[in-house]
Chain A
């Protein structure tokens, strides 16, 4: 049996940089990713080029230098908000394929320009910003030890489960706008013996990189992904766009949860993107639209795992 996980976007061969590797968050999570088994190859911090971080990883002045020296193919960005937009473009310009922007609080006008500029870099894919990152779970080989996976971001690795370790021998792909709610969904799936191929936090900002439709497309094409879990929230129309795409293009079972049914209109609920706009922009209207597209929508956030199990025919 082939033990290499099937996945989307990243796998055990992905070579990962951290932009902002010496900041508190960058340093902490670089260590966390290394411990999970991610191939971290270095990082950048302006002014600290030539030094090594606490884990012995080389630090570079620029992403171009880092890519040249390490062959990095992905990056996670912890650069503070005023400079994070530039960090994204720098990574794209250096040819990094998967750019994961963890930074929360990038001005929307910056992201509008960044997003448009990325069109010039078709080989780079942005995930986030304001997201937990992306993980392709590895196989468990001991207490808190994993092999063959790749974790790029801030999610707790141990809640995830590789398909081969999963009692059901099945795995879902997870797409989510929220961080901790993603962990909740992963945990519910793992607790029911359902593995995950890849989990992608797309972030809570209004202007971002990969969105539901892009990832539904990738998961639909991934043979190891038996079902897809999408976790949305109030604000915008991306979940429904995804649902429409599914209806036309995918036969995989898809389950969803939409957060914010009790959110009052006009109030921002933490995420810059989570705000109920007009009368049609409610969680309920999203739920209804997704159901019309054939998506199995859980009413309760406690039922995400149970719905995934049902979609996989496990109970």
Chain B
């Protein structure tokens, strides 16, 4: 699960990490109020940022630094209700409904810091770099030495000496060292306690020296979180941050039925049990010259109702011109799938070609059910194996195209 920037700032602030003052707004009036408050509290510049789960905001004009309340209002007027289109959004873009209006702090230096699950090390790893504000992948490629990696003890987490060495390696001086140590420590603790698979602060900044902060202030400007969905059961507060408007409606519907569904661009709908087999089914469709319309794993314990819903989701995608069912029953019993196919044929109807390949638990019973219903499902063909299934669905879809 992902959250918005303004929510990430809330989590950081609650954990005691310094973030510049700011407010989330949903209307131009609120943006006006928020900007006026920031300028009156001494901000010289304010930043208006669209709150959507996609990168590339700056280039698309959806992050603006403004010098006055009027400019803040103009930026809000442009962004709110507008569609942001970037390489990371769907082609039709994402409608902006919320903005973050925040103090644009002066920046002396930008850093990158992240804590993430490191599967190769089987633990969490802290990654930091003096090259902040840019894409870390690019830094990793061009200057691997500019990246600090600290694997964290799986039981103890970050140790104080590690926090100090990271702060020093990033070049912090004077009183800023203690600030950086505190920041790194709190970020690592937050990643673990919130079950985040990734927390990324980019940029982390050091502000220029002032009378009150002669060594500058360490602050988190933008942050990204990805949470482990499997741990949400113990984080009601984080789950409440979930924004359904950011998700594909079909994927949300699938989730509600315990199905794992990812929409893709092709025209052959797939209904498969098991993630590996579902991916392989997509792969073999492609090898036969077709294009999968989705990844759909019904899982092992889906009810007949859930499987019927899976058909409904697949068939409601207007691009789908054929459906391939590939089930290797283990926990999933093939007869349940067969009954769902018969049920879906009655309630939804298969107007497009349907190829069914069943193997495994209760397959004989499933074949009897399908054979008995065959006259009512004229577009259905049976397949003997994976290759046969892919060949049949691809040729049927091509013949109809």
Contacts and interface: CB of A to CB of B under 8 A. Distances in A.
Interface in B238-280: 260, 262, 264, 272-280
Interface string A95-132: 00000000001111110110111000000000000001
Interface stretch (A10-18, A44-52, A270-278): A270-278
B280 A184 contact: yes
Contact of A106 (B230, B273, B275, B287): B230
B119 A187 contact: no
Contact of B330 (A176, A180, A262): A180
Given A25-B331, A181-B280, A237 B387 contact: no
Interface stretch (A56-64, A166-174, A295-303): A295-303
B233 interface: yes
B230 A204 contact: no
Contact of A272 (B230, B264, B361): B230
Interface stretch (A152-160, A212-220, A246-254): A152-160
B295 A154 contact: no
Interface string B323-366: 00000111100000000000000000000000000011100000
A239 interface: no
Nearest to B120: A237
B230 A113 contact: no
A299 B287 contact: yes
Nearest to A107: B231
A261 interface: yes
Interface string A296-314: 0001111000000000000
A146 interface: no
Give chain B's interface secondary structure class: mixed
A263 interface: yes
A188 B120 CA distance: 31
A112 B275 contact: no
Chain A contact patch, size range? 35 or more
Interface string A172-201: 000011111111100110000000000000
B122 A274 contact: no
Given A154-B330, A204-B275, A269-B295, A301 B280 contact: yes
B228 A107 contact: yes
A89 interface: no
Nearest to A207: B122
A260 interface: yes
B284 interface: yes
A259 interface: yes
Nearest to A299: B287
A263 B281 CA distance: 11
A112 B154 contact: yes
Contacts of B123: 112, 116
B195 A109 contact: yes
Contact of B119 (A231, A267, A273): A273
Contact of A154 (B120, B197, B230, B300): B300
7 contacts: A29-B331, A115-B154, A180-B274, A180-B360, A206-B117, A264-B264, A270-B260
Given A159-B359, A180-B273, A183-B359, 8 more contacts: A25-B301, A108-B117, A184-B280, A231-B276, A257-B280, A270-B278, A274-B275, A302-B385
Q: Which 5 pairs between the two chains have the least Cβ-Cβ distance?
A: A178-B276, A270-B275, A180-B274, A116-B154, A181-B276
